[in-house]
Structure 1
Amino acid sequence: MKKKLLVTLLAASFAFTMLAGCGKSESAEGQARGETGSAAQDKTEEADRSENGSTQSGAEDGAGSSQADGSEGGEGSGENGSESDADEKTSGGQDKDADQDSAAEGEAGYVIPEVVMPSLEIPDSEAFAFVHDMKIGWNLGNTFDAYSDRTFADELEAEAQWVGVATTREMIDDIREAGFHSIRIPVSWHDHVDENYQISDVWLNRVQEVVDYAYDSGMYVILNIHHDNSEQFMYPSTEYLEQSVSYVTAIWQQLAERFADYDQRMIFEGMNEPRQVGTAWEWWIDPASEDCKDAIACINTINQAFVDTVRATGGNNKNRYLMVPGYDASPDGVLNEGFVFPTDAEGVTDKLILSVHAYTPYKFALQGPGESGSTAEFKASALGSTRDVTYFMDRLYNTFIQNGIPIVIDEFGARDKGQNTQARVDYATYYIAAARARGMTCFWWDNNVFEGDGEIFGIYHRQDRSFPYPEIVEGLMKYAE
């Protein structure tokens, strides 16, 4: 049964000093989404993203599974309708509100909405308590996940090729002091392994150094395999299944051994958005398609191999929290009959977490501002804005949370579409309130991009260590406890 939530918004005005964003001056033009707005054409292949060096502006994997999320709306939440029209029907005065938003931006005054939302029943278990204690997370995006066909004189130059700056302890301290309790460190390993999938010591040592910045500060840390989706390494199809299992288990064998002595705040995420790259269903699934069924079955196998490999290394890894995704890491990727949640080792309970990515509603959160149907408006008081968020979260709650499986949404966000900071504040506040009411913890995708025509998700400027949108951070924190 879908639960209907009552949302009441009370105006609470907070004034903020506006900090000028000074991110990369250009975005990667090649990252522009398809002109047709279809699920397949709105996505570009990951290989295209790597050619722009430090001016890379794609949200990278963050650009990913939301397209599948957008398809959810077609199942009953009204995603395919005009969201701005829906907002007008729900709350009225859209043009006036837009004018007020622009004025607020100029005056650097924003309203952080008060969201009154009943909490749903959450299972009483160690796993749900653990996820709750993670509170709110941030992604170190476009950093160790960067990849390229180029050869660097110094392997460590790869870390800064998309963002233009290497990570420092001071940066991570800034994130912690801003109120983020957790950090996700996406890593692409395939440019740093030999023919036997042995990871370069130089690369692994540097990853561990940055992990330690966060871990030593008391943060929860998620480490993963990120942009390794290719037929050469990990590709969910029967044809490449044996190779995929070999690659994933080889990487996790090494990572599990390297981080074996870290406590439970060190979390392993097996894969990021596993999918059949380059196909018509790269960013959405058709449950009736035999290829999609095959991909889902292969992901089940790889997830289980990941769990078994980590557990077999013993020590703290026997009881470490592990995260697993479905196809694309999208809600639709796990809300289908083919997805099977892995089983844990004998004697181990409540240590597996479902990983989900949801840039929902797609037309607001991710779709390019020049594309048909795109909207820059989101009102926390308008059903036309919020219904897709509550819809997909209710589906996850009913299917997994109620059955004892915890969820972390470790990628979400809303791109800057120009003069829509108030809408993004409303979105951040409402999204976190809705997720926490259902027992989920969320991580904002930050690609350190602040200007240009690409996917602008930055909220922490790494070059000058500033928060250009403190009001968005405030919105994220408001209901994270």
Structure 2
Amino acid sequence: MLVLGTQAKAQDFETATEAVKNMGVGWNLGNTLDASSGSKQGLESETYWGQPVTKPELMKMMKEAGFGAIRVPVTWYNHMDTSGTVDEEWMKRVHEVVDYVIDQGMYCIVNVHHDTGDGTQWLHASTTTYEKVKSKYEYLWKQIANEFKDYDQKLLFESYNEMLDDENKWNEPATDDGYKAINNYAKLFVNTVRKTGGNNKNRNLVVNTYSASSTANAMKALELPEESGHIIFQLHSYPDWQNESNAKSIVDNLISTIKTNLLKRAPVIIGEYATFRTWPTNLDYYNENRELALYAMDYFIKKTKEAGIGTFYWMGLSDGIYRSEPAFNQPDLAETLTKAYHGSAFEGKYPVHDSSKGTVAFEGEKTLEWGEGVFVSSSMLTDVGEDVEVELTYKLDFTDYDDIQFMYNNGGWQKIPSGLSMDGKAFDGADFSASSVYGIQSGDTKTSVLTFDASAYGYVSKYEMVIQGHGVIMKKVTVRAPSGTSAIPLIKADHQDNTIIYNLNGQRVETPRKGVYIQNGKKFIIQ
């Protein structure tokens, strides 16, 4: 793919300060290329945390809405071999998504994301760990930097995400060793990228505070890794606003702290922020107090722009099934952010869900196995009613047998006992073999339509439906009204199952203990 502007000479690169100003307002493509399930995976990991495969149309929508920059979090360890070499197909996929952003004329930040985390990941803020992994870390960034060395100033690299110490301390490490380690990683990152040459000699690079913390101590402790004018500091902020006065005070104090401790030395971006808090409990003001959420976001963007600080909203806005269309599930919030930055007269485009196309519950490539499935929330099904149809597109991939099994999840997966039909043909219990019914072979792709009688609908309308099996790769699952009838009503924002909890390896957790978890696309901590 031809990338516009890649011929820019290194000496012509804008400064980091200019880049932050020119980015405008940004957004995070979260829970996508950063998703994982703990072991080496292929391209299917992109959909592991409930997001569809990213398409160019999504970036076009973000551009037309008024966003000027996209942060693309990427997790690498699950796509590396024992020598630290990144899988060629994974690097190619990251490259494709970067091109989606760059081709829209937006800025793009690529990082090393869930390779950091709760201290169990391979990167954490300890000088002992640093000495053990620095060669691997250097090799990783050498590969990334070489892959993109000819890209122009619209592409930036971010060193690491939220790196914690050996005791998994957030905001500030248990000892100053955590700060020392962070600065070691930052300097190694910058030096490694610079040595690859090309446009990387003057590429604008991003380094984060310890755990991406917004405390004054974390900001003070972060050293400037080079005096080049091409370094950007980053931190994250998920505050508890409570009311308009408190929200205003929190934003003002945050900006004041940034000015005192970081902005005098280098430009700053707030790489993650949102309408929700994660501690001491999860609370999303967008759902609980929409007026306060929009007020706080409007004030936040206006004040950060005034201070010359860049911002990247964490996920939300267009999430889950909405990204496939693409559409906004929080169009009023997207409009608030872009108008706060560009001015009230700005006219962006904020498309919403087109109900005539049905609802895509899953799109990607998911290999079905026992305990590895695709999920369809009950609310997607109940929106349509008892005559709901679930269209499945799948590929057979087996050496012994194929089986698609339909379960309901009431705290544990159980077979739907009866009342299921595929393409109008009833089948016994919850086991369906496409090779037996249609005579197709391994390697063939098929689209089938699942329907329910009153008894089976009783299960799926009350509980989440799970599709698992063996010898099958699920490619797309669409929930729709019966063929030839009226369209599915407009989907509400709460249609996803927001109760599911994942650890940082992407695994479902029924009883979370001490650590960092993800629920409804948001990180939270149990201490």
Q: TM-score range, shorter-chain basis?
A: 0.5 to 0.7
Aligned positions, number: 319
Secondary structure of 2:132's counterpart equals helix
Matched, 1:298 2:181: yes
Aligned equivalent of 1:219: 106
**Structural mapping, 1:75-224, within 5 Å:** 126-149=15-38, 155-224=42-111
Find the partner of 1:237 among 111, 114, 126.
126
Q: Is the 8 A contact 2:40 2:79 kept in 1?
A: no
Deviation at 1:319, TM superposition (A): 0.4
Distance 2:65 2:321 in 1: 10
What fraction of aligned residue pairs are identical, expressed as a percent?
Answer: 34
Find the partner of 2:232 among 353, 370, 381.
353
Secondary structure of 1:479's counterpart equals helix
Distance 2:63 2:161 in 1: 24
Deviation at 1:135, TM superposition (A): 0.6
Closer, same or farther: CA 460–407 of 1 in aligned 2, 3 Å: farther
Closer, same or farther: CA 390–459 of 1 in aligned 2, 3 Å: farther
1:391-432 CA-partner distances (Å, limit 9, x unpaired)? 01111112222x241001111111334342222211211111
Distance 1:164 1:134 in 2: 25
Structure 1 gap segments, 5+ residues each: 1-124, 365-374, 450-457
Aligned equivalent of 1:397: 259
Distance 2:309 2:328 in 1: 25
Aligned equivalent of 2:144: 255
Aligned equivalent of 1:423: 292
Q: Is the 8 A contact 1:167 1:210 kept in 2?
A: yes
Find the partner of 1:437 among 306, 310, 315.
306
Deviation at 1:276, TM superposition (A): 2.0
Deviation at 1:337, TM superposition (A): 4.8
Matched, 1:228 2:115: yes
1:421-448 CA-partner distances (Å, limit 9, x unpaired)? 2222112111111111111010000057
| TM-score normalised over the length of structure 1 | 0.63
Closer, same or farther: CA 150–273 of 1 in aligned 2, 3 Å: closer
Deviation at 1:285, TM superposition (A): 1.4
Find the partner of 1:340 among 207, 223, 236.
223
Distance 1:193 1:448 in 2: 31
Distance 2:164 2:15 in 1: 31
- Higher helix proportion: 1
Aligned equivalent of 2:153: 264
| TM-score normalised over the length of structure 2 | 0.58
- Higher strand proportion: 2
Matched, 1:414 2:275: yes
Distance 1:242 1:358 in 2: 30
CA RMSD, Structure 1 to Structure 2 (Å): 2.1
Closer, same or farther: CA 176–246 of 1 in aligned 2, 3 Å: same
Secondary structure of 2:175's counterpart equals helix
**Whose radius of gyration is greater, 1 or 2?**
2
Structure 2 gap segments, 5+ residues each: 1-13, 277-283, 343-527
Distance 1:459 1:407 in 2: 29
Which structure is higher in RCO with an 8 Å CA cutoff and minimum separation 6?
Answer: 1
Deviation at 1:245, TM superposition (A): 1.9
Matched, 1:318 2:180: no
Deviation at 1:212, TM superposition (A): 0.3
Aligned equivalent of 1:79: none
Q: Is the 8 A contact 1:446 1:460 kept in 2?
A: no
Closer, same or farther: CA 135–241 of 1 in aligned 2, 3 Å: same
1:339-368 CA-partner distances (Å, limit 9, x unpaired)? 322125xxxx210000111112xx34xxxx
Code of the residue aligned with 2:259 in structure 1: it is Y
Find the partner of 2:330 among 469, 478, 481.
469
Closer, same or farther: CA 243–330 of 1 in aligned 2, 3 Å: same
Deviation at 1:478, TM superposition (A): 2.1
1:87-128 CA-partner distances (Å, limit 9, x unpaired)? xxxxxxxxxxxxxxxxxxxxxxxxxxxxxxxxxxxxxx9332
Secondary structure of 1:462's counterpart equals helix
Closer, same or farther: CA 409–305 of 1 in aligned 2, 3 Å: same
Distance 1:476 1:255 in 2: 31
Deviation at 1:480, TM superposition (A): 1.9
Q: Is the 8 A contact 2:112 2:159 kept in 1?
A: yes
Code of the residue aligned with 1:339 in structure 2: it is L
